[in-house]
Every structure is written in structure tokens, then in C-alpha cells.
Structure 1
Amino acid sequence: MSLKLQIQLFLFLFGLLVQAPVVANNKNNPVSKHQDPIFEMSLEDLMNVEVVSVSKRKEKLTQVASAAFVISGEDIRRSGATSIPEALRMAPGVQVARIGTDKWSVSIRGFNGRFSNKLLVLMDGRSVYTPLSSGVIWSQQDTFIEDIDRIEVIRGPAATLWGVNAVNGVINIISKNAAKTQGTLLTAGGGSFEQAFVGARYGGMINELTPFRIYAKGFIRDHTTTLSGNSANDTWHSARAGFRIDHSQGIDELILQGDIFVNGISDTVQQPPIFQSNSGLNVIDRNETGGNIRLRWDRTFSERSALMFQAYYDHVRHQLAPQAKYVESFDTDIQQRFPLGRRHDITWGLNYRLYNSNLDNTLITAFVPDKKSNYFVSGFLRDEFDWIPEKLKLSVGVRLGYNNLSGIEVQPNARIIWTPDEQSSLWASVSRAVRTPARGEHDVIINRGILPPQPDLTGLPLPIMQAIIGSNNFSSEKLIAYELGYRRQIQTNAAIDIAGFFNDYSDLRDFELGMIMSAVGMHRDVFFSLLQQEHLMLPILFNNNASAISYGTELSVDWRPHERWRLQKSYSYLNIDTKSNPAFRDIDASTGGAGTANPRHQLSLRSNYDLTERLQFNLWLRYVDKLAFYNISDYVTMDAKMSWKPVRNIEFFLVGQNLFSEHHRESQSDFIDTVPARIPRGIYTGARLDF
């Protein structure tokens, strides 16, 4: 569809919605402003939204000593976002860049890349970290988006409570209780880039104490384009289904939840030169299948005393290049909170996590051994002390853990918050966090190409394979973080939240050149049968010789100039200075290139306006600074959504995404060299029926 035709279609449908007749209210068609959260909640209510990801218990947002931001389900609906990464663009301090149709780089406070490894992402408290890269594969992380209650974004270390890899932040996607999703919801639509999507959810009652829901969804997304304007061959077909059961009786609550998914994805990969031939593009079709199941039990003895147990199992097949036979994880977690005297709240917990992986090796990437198990065991203790009741609160804690990749890890934290009145709070913290090694950093071999024989250099008439090789000596990356924040409700219709940070990183991932060696032993076992040719190996080795300093500030402003109009602004500034081996900065954007592979400035402005009680018009303007590392220019773009409810339970919507340009670049894949892609403008329309 041409640019001109897309714009004409958007304006035509927009005009139809604006001119649509208003259906009068009556008993059979009750449409009230009180059904819309923008009218239900005052700004004061929004500032007092409860979050659980900061201290693993419910706290008012205004009373947490952390840089926390909440993206509500209503925010997601109004934005028109169709995926979790797209919704995360709303939060200050979060870097989100789309690499291709199914690929994103997502991080907090920098060090972004396709396999960002300093961010912990949770789905209802279930970690979705992959042990191969210490990151998140976003194509596998999805749900029925209408079932998301909120996304809690914690910027800064949260390792004391959540464990390893909660270095730069935590993202917790929290779904609605099944009691809030009763009845049937159907949604469907399609357009240019979001070619087709359909979803259905049904909620009912097993008995009066046990609500449940089931859902199924699927979509087809079009390909992006290469820099030359050709197809990037990265279309994406996906299907997913799941369920949730909530049971509440007395002081006990029980949750049983699970999902399964199937992805069909294509990629265009830049192949390294093999057998002394020229490199070329290769289209790879890959399938991803997986599922998870989670059980959680809560017993609440009092407002200050509770016990929690959680266990989950996650299994994924065909995950990366190389194709994974399977990657699975098993996790158990127990936590207790109780009072100690009038002013102390004690929380302790134990966690055990096991990862198993079984991989197929290819000419490009191999793991030695191909099968391996990694485990993490840890415990934490935290004391929250009311120094001056309702005015000054101090919390200190420490997590002590052991894993079979880096050994013993200690992660302490101290936070203090002062609330001089109900409208404002000032907080500060200092934390230590670690990012443990991934399997890839210990066991991987990545073929970066075959060089012709160099007899003058090697003395042998054999080709030389350049290879990145993992090392068992690679240890954890460390961070000491200092944070300061301030929140204030300026008036009844305005609020501001500002946070600043200074991060000192050490033992970061870097590379060094090894000695040319004969490809024998384990390396010959991996590649010789595939290459069918003897060769030498030029190793590029992992080490922990890099370091970095980062600092920045994040600002969010929430303002309601009118009861029907809400404006939300966020701004982020980030500066990263790294010290690493300059010869290998092009390999790893998330460390050596971090200073220029992350936007220094980001700006977001959202406008949600209710034209009538049935007609909503939402705009979302974004600015992202340049990424010199990838030679990507800064860009400004806008999304728009118009939604119309002719009756209470039917909604029609029209969405335009990336409206300011036909295409733009946002990021590029590192390590796995997929072809650089441009993200297209998109327009889609659809309907939602809820009864």
C-alpha cells in the first residue's frame, strides 16, 4: 500500500468515526463516564497506585524509595500498542528499539542490544530470562494484551529482592485477577504492517470462590525492509493460548496460570565467509514453540504478616542460532514477611532456579558441551525501619547467592525515604548488583568467517577461522549504583517525578585476541565435520577487562488541564563512558559501544482526550536521539488512535503508527548478524466486543 493511499485511508476512516452518530443513553445502552478509568481515577488516586515490584509487597507509588513507573492497562489500550516492548516506550529511562518485525532491543539506563543482559523481566513474577544470553527473547514474551493489569517498571538495581541480573532495572508484567475478566471478549482487525490479528477470552466461575479465564490469540505481521528497499524477509506468524485460575478462601489465595505459543519467523542473516568464499545473505525460517505453568500460594495473616510460595516451569524449543532442541527452566521461591516490634518489618526469602539447555550446533555458532545445566540458589533478608513514623523510613537488605557459573555473589542495598507531607517524598539509595555469566560467555564458539591461508604468518597452508570463544574464567559483571529521587503532587491536577543516578560498572565483558591455534580437541569436534576441511583458529576470547561510568536523569510529568484531557510527558538523559579494547567494540554494542549505541536524549508526550463519552482521540509523540554506533539518525514519530463506542460493550478503533515517515531505523542486531532493517509506517483498524 502506497504512502498516499495509507494516509487517505486513515483520514477517511477518521472522518467516519468523528461524524458517527451518538447513541442516546438509556437503560439498555448505559454509557457513562464512570466506566472509563480516565474519569474513575483522579490524579491523586493515580499517584497512590499500589506497586509490588519494589519490595515484593503492596506499597503506594508515592511511598517507594525507588524510581518506579506504572503503565496501566488503560494506558496500553489508549496507546494502540500491540506488543509489550512497544508499550514499554511509555516509561522514562527505558530504551526500546525495534530491530525487525519480531526483534527488539530493550534495556533500562543503557547497555542496550538485542541480548540486553542487565535487565530482569518478569511475567507475573516469573522470570523470562534466557540462560544462553542473559537476556530476553521478546518474540516469546506475549499475552492477551487486554488481560494486562499494569506493567511496573523499576529503574535501578533491585538485586537484593529479585536476584542476579536485576542490575539496571526490573520490568514486571502483571495480569488481571480472573475475577476482573469475567464474560467474553472478542477482538479482531488488520491493516498494513499489522496485517491481521484476532483474539478471544472467556472468563467464568468454577465455584463462587474460584474464577477462571481462558484465552487464545493470533496475528500476522508484515516484513520490514532493508536499507536498499528490499524485503527483509522477517514476516511473523504467531498463535498463543493460556489460562488463569484464582482461588480465594479465608486468608489463603491460590493462582494457577499457564501459556503455550507457536511462532513462525523468518530472518535474513549476513553469513560470514566460509571456505574462503564471499559472504552473502541467507534467509532462515525458524519455528519457536514453548509453554509455561506457574503456581502461587499466598497466606495473609495480617496487614504486616504474610507467607508466599511460588513455583514455575518454562520450556522453549528452537530458540536461537544455533537451533535449540530445548531450553527449560524450573524455579521455586518462598518468602515471609513479619513485624518485629512496632517499627521493624522483616522480609526474608529463599530461591532456587535451574536451567537446562540442549543445543544443535551449526557452521556459525556452536556450544561446547551441547548439553548443560546451570543452577542458582540464593536467600535474602530485608529490614524496613520506621525511623520517624510516617515521615522517615529506612530499609536495608542483602542477598547472598551461589551459582555454578561464577560462584558466590553478595548483593546489598540501602534505601531511605522522607515524606514531609502527603504531597511529596524525597528518597535516596545505594546498591550493589551483579550480572552473572551466560552459557554463551562460557561455552560458545561463534564463527566470524574463514580467512585465506597466511603461510608467512602461520607457516602452514591452511585457512584461518576467526572465532569468538567463551571462557570458563569469565566472571560476573558488577555495579555500584547511587540514586536520588523526588516526587510531588503539585496541585490536584498535576504531578512530577524526577530521578537521577550515577552507576559505576566494573568487570564488564570485553574481548582480547588469542594465539592462532590448530583446530583440534573440542573445536575440531565441533567444526571439522561441518567444514570438511582442516583449518587454523584465530580466537577472540571473552574477558572482564572493561569498565564504565554512566549517569543521567529521568523526568515524568502527569497533568490534567481538563477532566476529559490528560497529558503525560517523560524525558530521559543518559551518558555512558566506557573503557574497553577498541579493537573489538564493533562486536558488542552493549558494552564497548554502549556510549554511542544508546540514545542520549529521549522524549515522550502522550495526549489522551475524550471528545465525547463515546469517542476518544489519543496522540503519542516520541523523539529518540541518534545512535552513532549503528550510524542511525535521530527520529521523531507519532502514533494516533481513535476509538468509538457506539454502545457500552462494542468498540471500534483506528490506529496509525510511525506516522511521520514511511520508514525509519531504530537499531541493529549484534552478535547474530541479521540484515539491518527499516521500520515501516503502519495503519490498522479493528473492533472489540465485550459482553
Structure 2
Amino acid sequence: MKPSNHTLLLAGIFSSLIAPVNLQADSDPEITDDGLLDLSLEELIALDVPDVTSVSKRKQRLMDSPAAVFVITNEDIQRSGVTSIPEALRMVPGMQVARLNSNTWSISTRGFNYIFANKLLVLIDGRTVYSPLFSGVNWDVQDTMLEDIARIEVIRGPGAALWGANAVNGVINIITKHAADTQGGLLSTGFGSEEKAFGAYRYGGELGDYGYYRAFFKTFNRDGLANKDGTDANDDWTLKRAGFKANWRTANGAEASLQSELYDGTTRPDLKIFNETTLSPDRIINQSRDQKGGHLIGSYKQYQADGSHFTLKGYYDRYENYDYRFTEKRDTADLEFQHQILPGNDHDIIWGLGYRLTQYNLNSATNNITMAPARRTDRLYSAFVQDHITLSPQWALTLSSRFEHNDFTGYEIQPNASLTWKISDEQTLWMKAASALKTPSISETSVISRGIAFLREEDAPVPGTATPDLLAISGNDQLDSEKLFALEVGYREQFNNRLLFDITAFFNQYRDLLAYVDQPGCLDRTTFDSSVMLCSYGDNGGKPAVEYSTTFANGLTANTYGLEVTTDWQATPWWKLQFNYSFLGVDAFSKDSGSAITNSYLRGNEHLLETLSANNTANIRSYMNLPHQWYLDFWVRYMDNLKDAEVSAYTALDFRVAKKFGKDLELSLTGKNLFDKQRLEFDEIFSGLGETEVQESWYLQLRWQH
């Protein structure tokens, strides 16, 4: 689609603004303009390359990390103009983010993108935000005050040896700021065409001589997306959230923290539900779906005289989802002990133990979903060990493994080995071999989903059928874990103290991937129709609704391979550019001829896996600090076509201009998705969500901090 006239106008304004050469800079709110002008370009780059902890559970330079790791900083979040964590993840090379409606995203990396994407492990301050219902993430409740996020560390590739099962294709670790770094008050509020109204307030103070705290409240009301014809999809989203965090030191130098959040939200997703009476899909609109919950996290870290330390962390999480189709209530309690020891100059050993208890209650509200059992308790026992071995000043070897026992597949082992060659302080080459597992979920083992209309009437294999052809999927409690063996090699270099370059190549081999396979016999409420040799509902005037009965099996293998490139260029003290590009290839195979749906009119499992994700993605981001505390930022991103979802390739532009008044007040205007009036980013059939499209939007924001 061609850029609109106002987008071309913005491009012209941008071109005229980059011409001046006598410019000031103030990219960090904690550093004055004059302070930044005194820094070298090398020092400016260092400000934007923080240490990371997600790769090896210990602090290390990003340059030396033996993994494909990318860091989204707090400045990236604020200057990109994103209003949610899923939108921020679009910055990450290789990360594929597609929005399905106002509050639902499909997010994955290195393939397998879907609304039920289940090969990413996501943590927020050490709390695993994982749903055992589908082994994925409920992104609509993973939120916090964005100004309080210190950074988001994203590992592309397996991290299961340290973080556990389901850290197959990546780990997203969201880390919020220490309470000492959020002192005083902060108010953020605004409105716009899609962000109809939003506001947040946070205040931080001291707790005695050694402690700090902050508390916040935020709320928003987001407009729904658009139907294909441009009308409002009426899937508005509102959410209220409040929380606090406290950090303090004890008299003996130990560190402790306590934090909690509560939330309550409502959405109105556009749904398509099969009606057994009329034998046709009903469209459900303006039907509220309520969600609420909260969590409490506590941690204690004690340092020893020899430099070692141990950490004890625990959390409790409550989640309630009142969907039109079913109700889910889940309680999770998690306890983890971690100990770092330094037995010699050449070894840095970290080991730990963990226990997680999950209790949930699932109740179906329609005949289309059957859950057994409705109540369930699962336990997860885990242990891990890692040894970082310094072979020489240039070479380091890291060996690690995690050992788990879960209630789905029993005992599992997930090892990892990485080798780092520090060619110089500015050059690092690393190699990694790792295994990871995705354990079966409740929906894959214990749920029957029916009424999934997968063919248009004109494509029906039974001539004259006026009702949709339906798919029924039954869980299989005999499933094994999906398995990954991954090989990666990466190289990083800093050129001329101005340019950072990072490239990663990978090859992943998957075994025992889930496939849809024929299930003998018909389910209840259906009969076998000998005239079509299939199961059918009723007659509906002599024209039955055909149902294909399927189940899951570990019936597929797949290979994925790709290349990911990132560059950070501090072009001048006032202008920073970042570019990344990713290529992904997927080849899938059936394990044997019996491990596939035999009906030829169903798309094959192999085709589904190979076409779920885009082959090519790219990002260009620019941050410009102009005279008199003006800021101009833009973000162009490209997403290749999604063949299975029948979504065309697109290029999107986000644009932000801001003005600061003194040190405390900032006013900004952000435009999003400016190349298209609206566009489809994803489409699927299994969830019943209606087809809605992302719209061009603008919003105005006022932020005051003191």
C-alpha cells in the first residue's frame, strides 16, 4: 500500500530537520545536555549497552554473552512510543509480533508463530508468566508501569538449561527498576484516536536509612480494532492496575525485596461460536470477557566474605479469566533457591533448586469445549547447575543443565554448552549447543474443542453442503515432550568506538512436534454417515454438518535455520540509528505416513508449520535530539507475508516528536502504523476470534516527573 499524503509530509519535515549541524543532545534524562556533549562516542555507546543477567544468571557484559541476546532499554520503550510490552517486542531482531485484536497478540521467535505460541518463556522480575492451559502467555494481563521497566532482555534461542522447560525458542526477561531509582513523583496521561484515555501515577520514597519503596496506579481505555470493511469491531479494552515495590539492605549487608500488583480488566473480543441448533457459526459481539488477578514476590540475597552468595525467591500468582466460553481460575506458588560459589579463580559455579505448585479450576460454558478434569493440581520439581570455566584470558567454557520432574512427562534433562572466544575487548566470537523441551499442556492432553469451522462453504468436499465443515480436536494424555537440539554461532564487534555489529546464525532440529491426526470413531452428539463416510451433526433440512474428528500426536520433525543481524550506530552525539534484519527458513516432515490427517482436503501439518511465520523481518529506528530539548524519533519495520494466515507483507511507520520543558515536563505526539489506514496482521481459526485489523492512530501524551 502506498504511503498516505500526511506520511509523505512527515518524511519531508524529517528531512529538513536533520540538516542542522549545530545541535545539542540529551538522550538520557539523568544526564544534562552539557554532560552528554562532554562524552566521547565510545562513552555514548556504553550508555546504551547495559550488562545482562539472563544468559547465565550472573552479571556479564553483553559483548561477552554466549547467546543471541538483545536488550530493550527504558529509553527505547519511552522514545518508541509503545504503550504495551508486546508492542515493545517488535524491536527485537527475529521476534515476530502480530496483533489479532485490541488485546491479543501472537508472539514468537525463530518460527512457530501463532495465537497459542508455546515455545517462549517469559519472566517478569523472576516470576514465570506461563499458562499451563496452552504453554503460552496471556499477553493481555502482562503489564506494568512502562516507565518503571529498567530493561527487557531477550534471548533468541534455547535457555532451558537455566530457566526450564518451554524456554525452547527464547527467553524474555522483563526487569523493573530498583525502588531507589524511582524516587519522587511521576504522572503520565494522554489521549488519542485508539488510545482513547490513559493515565498513570507513581510515587517513591525512603524506608528508614537503608530502604526505598514506590507505589503506582495506572489505567487505560483502548479503542477496538476495525473490521475488514472499516467499521468498528467493538472490541474495546479497559484495564486498571496498582502495585508497589520495596528494596532494602539489612544490617549485615543482605538485600531483600517485596513487590506486588493487582489488576482488573475487561475486553469484548469478536467471537465466532458454532451453534449446534442452527448448524452455523454465531458471531458474538459486545460480550464482556473479564480478567483479574495479582501476584506477590519476595526475595532475599545474602553475600559471603569469599564473594559467593545465595538467593531465596518465592512468589504467589492468582489469575481469573471469565470468558464467554469457559472460566479459568489458577493459583501458582513458586519457590527457588540459588547459590553462587567461587571454588577457584577459574570456576564460577551457580546451582539451584526449585518447586512450583499450580492449582486450577476450569469450567466450560458452552458445548464446544469439554475439559477433564475440571480441577487439577500439578507439581514441578527442578534443579540446575552451571559452571563457567575460564580457560584463559581469551577463552571461556560454560557447561550447564537443568533436571526437572513434571506431572505430564515425568523426568526431563536439558543440557547446554557454550564456548566464548574474546578476541579483544571489542571482538567476541561465541558458539553454543543446547537441548530444550516443550512439555505438553492441559489443552493438548485433556481438552476437547469442537465447532471449529475450517472450510468455506464453496470449498466443502461434500457437494451441496450448506453448513460449514467442522474440526474436532481431542486431547491426548499420552503425549511426549517436544524436543529441540540447537546449534548457534555468533560474532560481535565494536568498530571505531561508534558502531556495534552483532550477527548470529542458527540451526534448530525439532523432534516429536505435535501434529493433528485422524481419531477413529465419532464423538458424542454426532453419528457416522455412511454416505460420506464421516461423522455428522443432525440433518438441517437434509444437509448435515460434517465433523472431522482429530487428536494430537508427536507426529512431526522440523528443521529451522536463519540469520540475525543487528547494528547500533552512534552517528553523531545527537543522532543514534539502529538496524536489524532476520531471515528464517523452516522445513517440516511427517515422522511416518500414519502421522498425518489422511483427508486430502485438509492442509497438511508440514505446510502449517512451514507457513506460520514470516521468512524476512527488519527494523530501522532513529533517535534524534534536537536544539532546545526537542526530540524526533521514527521507527520503520517490515514483516514478510504469512502464507498460512493469508496475510500480506507490510511496512509500518511509527513517528514521535516530543518537547521537554525544563527537567520535569515533557509533551509528545506519537503516530503509529502511518503507512496504512488499516491492515490485517494475523488470522486463524482455532480460537474463534473474529478477523480484525490494526488501524493508523495518533495519541498525545503529557509526562511530569519530579
TM over 0.5: yes
Q: 1:626 to 1:377 in 2, by over 3 A?
A: same
Tell me, yes or no, if structure 1 residue 269 matches structure 2 residue 253.
Answer: no
Code of the aligned partner of 1:246: N
Shift of 1:38: 12
Whole-Å separation in 1 of the counterparts to 2:349 and 2:159: 17
CA distance in 2, matches of 1:450, 1:49: 48
One-letter code aligned to 1:292: H
- Bigger drift between 268-277 and 49-58 goes to 268-277
Q: 1:582 to 1:45 in 2, by over 3 A?
A: farther
Distance 2:605 2:222 in 1: 28
Which residue is 1:356 aligned to?
359
**What residue is the counterpart of 1:419 in the other structure?**
422
CA deviation string 1:72-103 (max 9, x = no partner): 00011110000001111111111111111101
Q: Report the alpha carbon displacement of residue 363 of structure 1 after superposing the two structures with TM.
A: 2.1
- Offset of 1:364 from its aligned partner? 2.1
Give the Cα separation in 2 of the matches to 1:429 and 1:30. Answer: 37
**Number of the residue aligned with 2:331:** 328
Residue 32 of structure 1 deviates from its aligned partner by: 2.6
2:498 & 2:72 partners in 1: Cα distance?
19
Q: Which of 561, 567, 574 is the equivalent residue of 1:564?
A: 574
> Is the deviation greater in 103-112 or in 3-12?
3-12
**Counterpart residue type for residue 380 of structure 2:** F
Counterpart of 2:501?
A: 496
SS of the residue 1:165 aligns to: coil
Pair 1:168–1:30, CA change in 2 (3 A): closer
- Contact 2:452/2:685, CA 8 A, preserved across alignment: no
Q: Secondary structure at the match of 1:510?
A: strand
Give a deviation string over 1:453-495, Cα, whole Å, max 9, x none. Answer: xxxx9xxxxx998521101111210000000000000111111
Deviation, 1:578, is: 1.5
Q: Does residue 679 in structure 1 map to residue 705 in structure 2?
A: no
Show the counterpart of 2:400. Answer: 397
Q: Determine the structure 2 residue equivalent to 1:611.
A: 626
Q: Deviations over 1:591-647 (max 9, x none)?
A: 862321211111100010011251110010111100111111100111011111121
Q: Judging changes above 3 Å, is the alpha-carbon distance between structure 1 residues 37 and 178 closer, same or farther for their aligned structure 2 residues? A: farther
The 5 Å alignment of 1:227-246 reads 227-246=228-247
The one-letter code of the counterpart of 1:481 is A
1:575-594 maps to which residues of 2 (within 5 A)? 575-580=585-590, 581=596, 593-594=608-609
Asked if 1:645 is matched to 2:668, the reply is no
SS in 2 for 1:42: helix
Contact 1:519 1:536 in 2 (8 A): no
d(CA) in 2 for partners of 1:91 and 1:450? 34
Aligned equivalent of 1:71: 72
CA contact (8 A) 1:159 1:165 kept: yes
Residue 298 (str. 1) matches residue 301 (str. 2): yes
Contact 1:186-1:199 at 8 Å conserved across structures? yes
Kindly indicate whether the alpha-carbon contact (under 8 Å) linking 2:431 and 2:489 is maintained by their aligned counterparts in 1. yes
CA change 1:46–1:502 in 2 (3 A) is: farther
Query: Which shifted more, 642-651 or 664-673?
Result: 664-673
| 1:402 counterpart letter in structure 2 | H
Give percent identity, aligned residues only: 35
Structure 2 counterpart of 1:474: 479
Distance 2:144 2:374 in 1: 31
In the alignment, is the contact (CA less than 8 A) between 2:608 and 2:644 conserved in 1?
A: yes
How many angstroms apart in 1 are the aligned matches of 2:181 and 2:37?
A: 14
Alpha-carbon distance in 1 for matches of 2:277, 2:597: 28
Q: Distance in 2 between matches of 1:582 and 1:426?
A: 44
Query: Equivalents in 2 of 1:153, 1:278: separation in Å?
Result: 43
Gap runs ≥5 in structure 1: 19-23, 452-456, 458-462, 521-530
Partner of 1:527: none
- Preserved CA contact (<8 Å) 1:519 1:537: no
Shift of 1:504: 0.1
State which of 521, 536, 555 in structure 2 corresponds to 1:545: 555
CA RMSD of aligned residues (A): 3.2
Matched, 1:667 2:672: no
Q: What's the CA shift for 1:114? A: 1.1
1:460 is matched with which residue? none
Q: 1:11 Cα deviation (Å)?
A: 11
Distance in structure 2 (CA, Å) of the matches to 1:558 and 1:655: 23
Q: Secondary structure of the residue that 1:329 maps to in structure 2?
A: strand
4+ aligned runs moved over 4 Å, structure 1: 3-14, 34-41, 463-466, 535-538, 582-592
Q: CA deviation at 1:502?
A: 0.1
**TM-score, with length taken from structure 2:** 0.87
Alignment partner, residue 528 of structure 2: none
Determine the structure 1 residue equivalent to 2:535: none
Distance 1:585 1:343 in 2: 60
1:454 match: none
Whether the 8 Å contact between 1:627 and 1:634 is mirrored in structure 2 is yes
Kept in 1: contact 2:506–2:563 (CA 8 A): yes
Task: Tell me the distance in 2 between the aligned counterparts of 1:391 and 1:379.
Answer: 30
CA contact (8 A) 1:275 1:450 kept: no
Greater CA drift, 349-358 or 75-84: 349-358
**1:305 is aligned with what amino acid?**
S
Check the 8 A contact 2:516/2:605 in 1, yes or no: no
Q: Verify: 1:309 aligned to 2:301, yes or no.
A: no
State the shift of 1:588 in Å.
10
Distance 1:419 1:8 in 2: 46
Pair 1:289-2:292 in alignment: yes
Q: Distance in 1 between matches of 2:95 and 2:685?
A: 19
Which amino acid counterpart does residue 75 of structure 2 have in structure 1? Answer: E
| Aligned mates of 1:110, 1:76 — CA distance in 2 | 25
Partners of 1:321 and 1:591 in 2: CA distance = 32
Q: Which residue in the other structure is 2:439 paired with? A: 436
Aligned residue number for residue 528 of structure 1: none
Residue 169 and residue 8 in structure 1: after superposition, are their counterparts in 2 closer, same or farther (change >3 A)? closer
Are the structure 2 counterparts of residues 545 and 39 from structure 1 closer, same or farther at C-alpha, using a change threshold of 3 Å?
A: farther
Structure 2 contact 586–609 (Cα < 8 Å) conserved: yes
Q: Structure 1 length as normaliser, TM-score?
A: 0.89
Q: Deviations over 1:369-400 (max 9, x none)?
A: 11111221110111111111x21000111111
Distance (whole Å) between structure 2 residues aligned to residue 465 and residue 192 of structure 1: 38
